[in-house]
């Protein structure tokens, strides 16, 4: 099936400029309408088999979702964060542990929100009158994302392609179009070739940190030697 994009860069530019201006003028509230209008343009310009896709999202739904997120964050900051700070000062006699635990607590919520956002977009996407969808599984995605990120950080980014592959597979295998389910094939090692530049940058960064760590003790030795020689001749 041939997929064609019928949009024009000039039209996208002026639409983004106009809606962005109104978003700034309304202190960000118009951004829900901006995202809706941009998605409708992009979806309508993508035409698999010559038939345009359709986005039927409502900006009022996004605004309501924003207020719900604000309520959840207010509860988290006002109640959970306060308890974490109390425990931190009581046990560790400081606020560092509280801030650290508070940050860790936000990470699963972030991944949960990302999965829910994708489910919302797919649920309001149509092609030839048939709806896309995503099965429930936000918490499953959240704990898998946390585990994969932990492994990726411990391996200094070397397993980044593995994390990307399996997280995308989790979402793709739960996506459906009408009554048909999507299935992601392939192997995670296939991503190493397109990610070779990223891996090279990560390896270079680790090598630079290691080199700096090596030079610092050497610099201290040289400084002590110079100081000893100066004391000897003074």
Q: Is the pLDDT of residue 10 over 80?
A: yes
Determine the Cα–Cα distance for residues 124 and 45; give it in Å rounded to an integer: 16
Q: What is the pLDDT of residue 221?
A: 47
> How far, in Å, are 5, 39, 49 from residue 2 at the CA level?
10, 21, 5
Strand partners, 132: 177
pLDDT tens for 22-77 read 999 998 889 999 999 999 999 999 998 888 999 998 999 888 888 887 777 777 66
Question: What totals of helices (H) and strands (E) does the chain contain, helices first?
Answer: 8, 7
Tokens at 24, concatenated: 């700034």
pLDDT tens readout for residues 84-108: 776 777 777 666 666 777 777 788 8
**142-193 pLDDT tens trace:** 999 999 999 988 887 788 889 999 999 999 999 999 889 999 998 988 888 8
pLDDT at 222 over 60: no
- Section 210-230 average pLDDT: 53
Q: What is the pLDDT of residue 216?
A: 57
Specify burial of residue 231 (Cβ count, 10 A radius: 0-12, 13-18, 19+): exposed
**pLDDT value at residue 73:** 72
Residue with tokens 């990302």: 114
Structural contact between residues 30 and 112, judged by C-beta atoms closer than 8 angstroms:
no
What is the SS3 string spanning 109-172?
Answer: HHHHHHHHHHHHHHHCEEECCEEEEECCCHHHHHHHHHHHHHHHHHCCCCCHHHHHHHHHHHHH
Backbone dihedral angles phi then psi of residue 181, each to the nearest 5 degrees: -95, 145
53-55 β-sheet, strand order? 53-55, 125-127, 130-134, 175-177, 180-181
């Amino acid at each position: 099936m041939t997929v064609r994009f019928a949009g024009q860069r000039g039209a996208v530019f002026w639409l983004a400029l106009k809606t962005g201006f109104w978003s700034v003028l309304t202190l960000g509230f118009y951004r829900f309408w901006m995202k809706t209008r941009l998605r409708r343009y992009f979806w309508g310009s993508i035409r698999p088999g010559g038939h345009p896709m359709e986005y039927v999202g409502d900006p009022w739904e996004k605004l309501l979702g924003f207020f719900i997120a604000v309520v959840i964050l207010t509860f988290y900051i006002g109640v959970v964060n306060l308890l974490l700070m109390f425990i931190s000062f009581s046990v560790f006699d400081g606020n560092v542990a509280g801030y650290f635990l508070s940050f860790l607590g936000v990470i699963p919520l972030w991944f949960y929100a990302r999965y829910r956002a994708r489910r919302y977009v797919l649920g309001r996407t149509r092609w030839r009158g048939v709806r896309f969808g995503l099965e429930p599984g936000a918490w499953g995605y959240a704990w898998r994302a946390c585990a994969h990120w932990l492994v990726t950080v411990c391996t200094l980014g070397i397993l980044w392609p593995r994390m990307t592959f399996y997280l995308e597979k989790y979402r793709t295998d739960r996506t459906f179009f009408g009554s048909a389910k999507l299935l992601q094939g392939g192997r995670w090692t296939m991503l190493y070739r397109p990610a070779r530049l990223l891996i090279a940058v990560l390896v270079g960064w680790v090598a630079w940190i290691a080199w700096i760590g090596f030079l610092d003790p050497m610099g201290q030795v040289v400084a002590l030697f110079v100081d000893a020689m100066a004391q000897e001749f003074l």
